[in-house]
Amino acid sequence: MKPLRSLLAAAIGVLVLVPLGAAPANAGGSFRPGAAGVGDPYFPGYGNGGYDVKHYDLDVHYQPSTDVLTGRAVIHARATQNLSSFNLDFVGLTIDKLSVNGHKASYSRSGQELTVTRKIRKGSRFRVEVRYHGVPETIQIPFPGIVLEAGFIHTDDGALVAGQPEVAATWFPVNDHPQDKASYSFAVTVPAGLEAIANGVPRGSKTKDGWTTWKWEQRTPMISYLATATIGEFRISTTKHHGKPTIIAIDPDLPPSLADDAVGRTNEITDFLAGFFGPYPFEANGAIVDDYDNLFFALENQTRSIYSKYFFEEGTTTGETYVVAHELAHQWFGDSVAVEQWDDIWLNEGFATYAEWLWSDKLGEGTPQEIFDFLYAQPLSAPYWAPPPGDPGPVDLFDDSVYVRGAMTLQALRVTVGDADFWKIVRQWYAKNRNGHGSTAEFVRLAERVSGEQLDDLFQAWLFTDTKPPHPGAATATLAASTADKPAVLKSWDRRPHLRR
Ligand code: TRP
Ligand code: ZN
């Protein structure tokens, strides 16, 4: 406790400094608008500053025959500065009512920015309630030869909600950047007879007057782009795995022999990856496979990866499990350990691709070193040497280089520091950043600390140049590989040039 004298002196000082008529709240620092973005160099408008969301309570009602979504979002947040106003990201939908802490608040909208005018003191918790409705806008990502539909996708019998980097704002008001993870509860109401599948653990369903409400809960913090509320007819199978539910939902319009075998190995592949990375991060697991013709990707939605049907082929099994290993690896790297900024994307895609190489080894279809050597032997004109995976730029965020050269970076690290240190680095990376974030600079620092080696040159060459880096191992390996057969995992990528993962 401070002596009374100094408290009095401080109070008098404040009285002298504060001009007549100013609100006493200003004593704790001036109230300013929260930033309209978190400052991501690739996407300056994504997310917002000045507060931290703790929990989203989403109650949405969807009518597939009109595509209209009616929603009520309650956002529980804490101010990290004295706010005079703050922003949410929210695209397209009509706002019917907005309140802060139960009081009607004024707001304005411009592009994706929803600005709410409200004085909130630093450190205090507040609750924003938004009631809204409309037809969620599907994001169209142009690619050569195809347009990738992402975000809130309207399907023949419902909706498919998946995409990145920024899609959540098309269906709920959100602080839409990986930096602000939060827990979620979902209540999704759909015409009776349809299923609604979100993230985490199921909390039951209720049918009344021809509508069914499905409840889900994701307690472990989640990035907004990983949230889903996928609606339609699904065959659902639930297994208990180490006491946690694994929920696999497959569209009944798909032949039962198509995706069931591969996604049915979710538990087995999860255990396989946990053996390398550490314990599986979340309270549930699973998969969703929809019949929708215009879904051309798979995505690592937290606890519930979503797969395009085109990843699977009838009559084959092991080749179709590579994408499952990829999406499951993202549960550790991407979901639990999130990017700090989007230029850290190789930490997601490089690890997930490397997991496919580990799975390849397990299947007896090529070791990571054999796959690396095959790739290394390919000319600079191969599609994965540029741009530099450590700084691909916003347009090439998901270029092959981010995936392939990203995974090659990990193998180059493994060869340089040796197996023991490599696995120590990987396990510590997860253990330290679990439920949090990690950046490239932090990964390099950890690798140097664990190995005791100076690795700047290695990471500089592999992540930040657009030429072929020096081979980290014996030159003879390169010669042998140039005549080797293409590893099966790379053939599985070739079979689906139109697919993103
Ligand atoms: N990152 C996703 C995966 O690895 C795939 C992906 C890349 C994607 N770009 C996308 C998904 C755009 C949706 C939209 O599984
Ligand atoms: Zn991926």
pLDDT in the model for residue 4: 39
Q: Which two tokens stand for residue 67?
A: 């595509």
Q: Which amino acid, residue 458?
A: L
* CB 365 near ligand 1, within 6 Å: no
How far is CA 346 from each of CA 68, 96, 155, 174, 278, rounded to the nearest angstrom?
A: 37, 40, 31, 25, 20
* CB 167 near ligand 1, within 6 Å: no
What's this model's pTM, rounded to 2 decimal places? 0.93
Contacts of 8 (CB under 8 A, 6+ apart): none
Cα 469 to middle of ligand 2, angstroms: 23
* CB 298 near ligand 1, within 6 Å: yes
Cα 104 to middle of ligand 2, angstroms: 42
* CB 356 near ligand 1, within 6 Å: no
* CB 304 near ligand 1, within 6 Å: no
* CB 301 near ligand 1, within 6 Å: no
Cα 299 to middle of ligand 2, angstroms: 7
Mean pLDDT by 10 residues, the chain (501 residues): 39 41 56 98 97 98 98 98 98 98 98 97 98 97 85 97 97 98 98 98 98 98 98 98 98 92 96 98 98 96 97 76 97 98 98 98 96 96 96 95 98 98 98 98 98 98 96 64 82 87 81
* CB 297 near ligand 1, within 6 Å: yes
Cα 345 to middle of ligand 2, angstroms: 9
Nearest-CA residue for ligand 1 atom 1 is: 501
CA dist., res. 495 & res. 239, Å (int): 31
Q: Which two tokens stand for residue 461?
A: 């060459």
* CB 299 near ligand 1, within 6 Å: yes
* CB 352 near ligand 1, within 6 Å: yes
* CB 163 near ligand 1, within 6 Å: yes
CA dist., res. 500 & res. 308, Å (int): 9
| CB distance 195 to 234 below 8 Å | yes
For residue 148, the number of C-alpha atoms closer than 13 Å in the C-beta half-sphere is 21
Cα 101 to middle of ligand 2, angstroms: 39
Residue 332: φ, ψ to 5°: -80, -50
Q: Does domain 337-495 correspond to CATH entry 3.40.50.300?
A: no
pLDDT in the model for residue 312: 93
> CATH homologous superfamily for 234-332?
Neutral Protease Domain 2 (1.10.390.10)
pLDDT in the model for residue 14: 40
Nearest ligand to residue 398 Cα: 1
How far is CA 378 from each of CA 382, 471, 480, 482, rounded to the nearest angstrom?
A: 6, 12, 13, 7
| CB distance 90 to 58 below 8 Å | no
Q: Which atom of ligand 1 is nearest to the CA of 297?
A: 11
| CB distance 362 to 388 below 8 Å | no
Q: CA torsion, points 25, 31, 34, 40, in degrees to nearest 10? A: -120
| Radius of gyration in angstroms for the set of CA atoms belonging to the chain, rounded to a whole number | 25
Answer yes or no: same fold for 1-222 and 337-495.
no
pLDDT in the model for residue 483: 64
Residue 374: φ, ψ to 5°: -60, -45
DSSP secondary structure string for all residues of 351-410: HHHHHHHHHHHHHTS--HHHHHHHHHTS-TTSTTS-S-TTS-TTTTTT-HIIIIIHHHHH
The domain limits of the chain are 1-222, 234-332, 337-495
Task: Return the SS3 of 289.
Answer: strand
Q: What CATH fold (topology level) applies to the domain 1-222?
A: Immunoglobulin-like (2.60.40)
Residue 173: φ, ψ to 5°: -70, 135
pLDDT in the model for residue 314: 77
CA dist., res. 224 & res. 227, Å (int): 6
Nearest ligand to residue 329 Cα: 2
Q: Which atom of ligand 1 is nearest to the CA of 349?
A: 4
Positive/negative CA dihedral, 24, 28, 30, 31? negative
**Pocket-testing residue among 299, 300, 498, ligand 1, by greatest number of atoms within 8 A of Cβ:** 299
**Pocket-testing residue among 398, 399, 496, ligand 1, by greatest number of atoms within 8 A of Cβ:** 398
Q: Which atom of ligand 1 is nearest to the CA of 299?
A: 15
